Amino acid sequence: MNEFGTFDMEMLGINQDQIKEVDSSEAEVVSRVLMSRIKDITANIRPDGITFNATCVRSMVGVIHIQMYIDRKKHRLYVRPAQEFDKDSKRWCNDKDGKRTSRKITGRPFGDRIYKMMGWSKGYSYRVVGYPAIEAGTDDEYLIYFDLDEFDQNLLTERGLEAAGVDDADLGENAAQIRADMAEEKAQNPIEPGLFWLISKMNIIPSAYIP
C-alpha cells in the first residue's frame, strides 16, 4: 500500500473509525497567486504600466532589456530577453553596481490593451504569477510567461488612480461603487501603505492608532 498522503494514526492518537467523512467536491482550489511567496515570479499590472518583481528580474541572468508579447487567445503575457537597441525592447530593471532591481515600465496604451482584453476594471491593479519556460522546438530560447487568467486584484487608492490618469469615465458604471470602496478602505487604513516604512523608522505612533 502506498502510504503517501495518509495520516500518521500513531502520531495523532486516533484510529480509522475516528476520522470524519466529508464531501469536498464543490470546494474551489485556492489559486497559487493568492498564496504567493517571496520567491515567486510575479508582475503587477496597473492601468498605466507594469512592474516585474525582483525575483522575476533576477531569474534571467544579466537581462536588462526585454520584449513583451501578448497572446490574446490564451490570455498570456510572454517576456523574452532582448538587447537595448532591439525593436520594441523595454528596460525592465535598474542596474547599479551589478545589482538589478525592479522598476516600473510605464505605458498607458499597454494598460489599455491588457485591461480591455481581460475585461478588468481600472479601479484595480492585478498581480499575476509567472512561470519559467523554453520556446517549443528550441533548447535555449528561455522566456517567462504569465497566465493572465490567474490574478489577484487590489483596489487602487485615490492617489494611485490619479497617478495612473484614471478618471470616472475610465471606471465606467462602477465608478460610484469603486469610489465608495476606496473611501471605506481609507477610513480603515488612514495611513498610505508607502508611509508605514518611514513611520516605523522614525518610531512615530500616529494619533489615529493611539487608544
What tens digit of pLDDT does each residue of 44-61 get? 999 999 999 999 999 999
Q: What is the pLDDT of residue 210?
A: 44
Residue type, 210: I
187 in any annotated domain: no
> How much is the average pLDDT of 161-187?
87
Cell reading at 76: 498570456
pLDDT tens digits, 57-91: 999 999 999 999 999 999 999 999 999 999 999 99
Residue 99: HSE in the Cβ half-sphere, 13 Å Cα cutoff: 3
56 in any annotated domain: yes
132 in any annotated domain: yes
Higher per-residue pLDDT: 66 or 24:
66
- How many domains would you assign to the chain? 1
Q: Which domain holds residue 38?
A: 29-167
Q: Kindly state the DSSP code that residue 56 receives in the 8-state scheme.
A: H
Higher per-residue pLDDT: 157 or 35:
157
Counting Cβ atoms within 10 Å, is residue 175 exposed (0-12), middle (13-18) or buried (19+)? middle
195 in any annotated domain: no
